[in-house]
Amino acid sequence: MKMSNREIIIGMVTLSVILFGFTYWMGGSKISEQKEMAEEKVRLRRQIKLHKRILEEKENWIGRLDALQAELPVYDRRIPVSVLLSKEIKGMADSHGLDLTRTQPGVEKQVGTLYEVNVSCEWTGDLEAMVHFLYDLHSKGIRFDVWQINIKPVAKQEGLLKGSMSIACAYRREKENE
């Protein structure tokens, strides 16, 4: 059986199309996998760069952390701190003419080497007293942080406000061996 040049060319073209199609079909999924892997590689390189930069600044961050922790008061492990903090907040409020009608200290939580107590307060007073009290809290640095505050006017008295707030109080405890 003899094949003409035309049949040989058609056979070669058909074989080439079949091989190209099979290769594309087999490699198509691999191409998308390669693109995903390249994107993941770029993302991981960016993340490695960021982590290296953070590690280079480790000493700076530790220094800042130590400076902030030095601002916090240190209490004896046997002292119930929530009562002391409630009294301190009440004293600041009284000095500015803000009446704390109720203070409810929460449970002490340890976060690393720091401790935190949330104190819930209900209060009444005018706007000026509230602003001065909040400024006084803010001026104490990282010791006190107002997490939530609700304010509404008292219906029958003009200029009088009432509300509630949650104050997070941070401090440290003495170490076991001290």
Q: How would residue 50 be classed by pLDDT, with cut points 50, 70 and 90?
A: very high
Domain boundaries, the chain: 5-56, 75-173
Nearest to 123 by CA among 81, 163, 84: 163
Mean pLDDT of the chain, nearest integer: 88
Domain 75-173 has CATH 3.40.50.1820: no
Q: What pLDDT is stored for residue 8 in this prediction?
A: 87
Nearest to 108 by CA among 78, 148, 146: 78
Q: Could you give the percent of the chain with pLDDT greater than 70?
A: 98
Average pLDDT over residues 41-60: 93
Q: Pick the residue with more confidence: 130 or 2?
A: 130
Determine the Cα–Cα distance for residues 146 and 127; give it in Å rounded to an integer. 16
Give the pLDDT confidence of 68-77 residue by residue, as tens digits.
888 888 888 8
Q: What pLDDT is stored for residue 114 in this prediction?
A: 87
Q: What pLDDT is stored for residue 24 in this prediction?
A: 80
Give the pLDDT confidence of 77-98 residue by residue, as tens digits.
888 888 888 899 999 999 999 9
